[in-house]
Amino acid sequence: MEYNLLKTSIDAGVALVTISRPEALNALNSEFFTEFNDFLNGVEKNDMIKVLVITGDGKSFVAGADISELVNMNYEKACCFSKLGQNTFSRLENLKIPVIAAVNGYALGGGCELAMACDFRIVSRNAKFGQPEVHLGLIPGYSGTQRFSRLAGLGNALYAMLTGEMISAEEALHMGLAQKLVEPENLMDEVMTIAKKIAANGSQAIRKAKEIIRKGYDKNIKEGNELETEAFSKLFDYPSTKEGMRAFLEKRKPNW
């Protein structure tokens, strides 16, 4: 499929997808969801891809769902569009490989929700997060009401979604919404360095770590520990695990 709204590339096991609709600050419309789901189908089938990075073209990460589409919706259409967004973003959360959001500017509404569905967020100093839906008479519809509090706490989620205020990159870092803050001109270099560092690790270990951290998050510690033991032990079935440990003992780099 040819993409109108996505630019894609792969380098050293890292796939980069840039949402590119800068004239509308990369607002998410139906066409985006069709293209993005097709792109994810390809990522899921491609074992060469170890890490996925998502960013936005121009001065915005994503400034939300496309308000010009939302304005014409009724109950049924809103349900469909909300489910489509929730399901698409859940795919990112459940993707076997790590997903990094490189947040280069506005991450508002659906854009904040997209960033929160990624495994972590590296943000430019000029990034601005927010869930401004209440200014439009709406609430978040792509799992923002659920993910925000899990990432940044109940009080911060309520404050953000009741006031609709923008959140600076520094505040996002402080509240746990962002994991690292970098200068705008260094953002992509920094993110690609981190992504390649992850991609150079044992790929089964990376996948298991993501799977078990995410699966265990909604469970109690006893159930989580059982998941961990199962996943930890399963790794011993893979030759690459032994290679990682042997390489350490032989004082060399692993040859995965």
Integer CA distances (angstroms), 44 to 40, 49, 79, 130, 252, in order: 6, 9, 26, 30, 31
Known active-site residue 113: yes
> From the list 5, 32, 43, 66, which residue makes contact with ligand CO8 (rule: CB under 6 A)?
66
> Collapsing DSSP states into helix, strand and coil, what is residue 140?
coil
With residue 44 as reference, give the H or E element that holds it: helix 30-45
Residues in 134-173 that interact with ligand CO8 by CB under 6 A: 136, 138, 140-142
Q: Compute the least distance from the CB of residue 101 to ligand CO8, in Å.
A: 16
> From the list 109, 115, 169, 191, which residue makes contact with ligand CO8 (rule: CB under 6 A)?
109
Find the part of the chain contacting ligand CO8 (CB under 6 A) among 49-57, 62-70, 200-208, 220-228. 62-70
User: Whose CA is closest to 113, among 94, 98, 133?
Assistant: 133
d(CA 78, CA 188): 34
Q: Total number of residues binding ligand CO8 (CB under 6 A)? A: 24
> From the list 17, 103, 133, 202, which residue makes contact with ligand CO8 (rule: CB under 6 A)?
133
Find the part of the chain contacting ligand CO8 (CB under 6 A) among 23-31, 201-209, 229-237, 245-253. 23-31
How deeply is 221 buried, as exposed, middle or buried, from its count of CB atoms within 10 A (0-12, 13-18, 19+)?
Answer: exposed
Q: Is residue 61 at the binding interface for ligand CO8, with CB under 6 A as the rule?
A: no
Instruction: Report the alpha-carbon angle 231-234-235, nearest 5.
Output: 95
Query: Whose Cβ is closer to ligand CO8: residue 66's or residue 119's?
Result: 66
Q: Compute the least distance from the CB of residue 65 to ligand CO8, in Å.
A: 4
Between strands 167-168 and 99-103, the pairing is unpaired
Q: Is residue 56 at the binding interface for ligand CO8, with CB under 6 A as the rule?
A: no
Find the part of the chain contacting ligand CO8 (CB under 6 A) among 10-18, 46-54, 58-66, 195-203. 58-66
Between strands 180-182 and 120-124, the pairing is parallel
Report helix angle 75-94 to 30-45, nearest 10.
Answer: 30
In the complex, the residues that contact ligand CO8 under the rule CB under 6 A are 24-25, 27, 63-68, 78, 81-82, 85, 106, 108-110, 132-133, 136, 138, 140-142
Instruction: Supply the residues annotated as catalytic.
Output: 113, 133
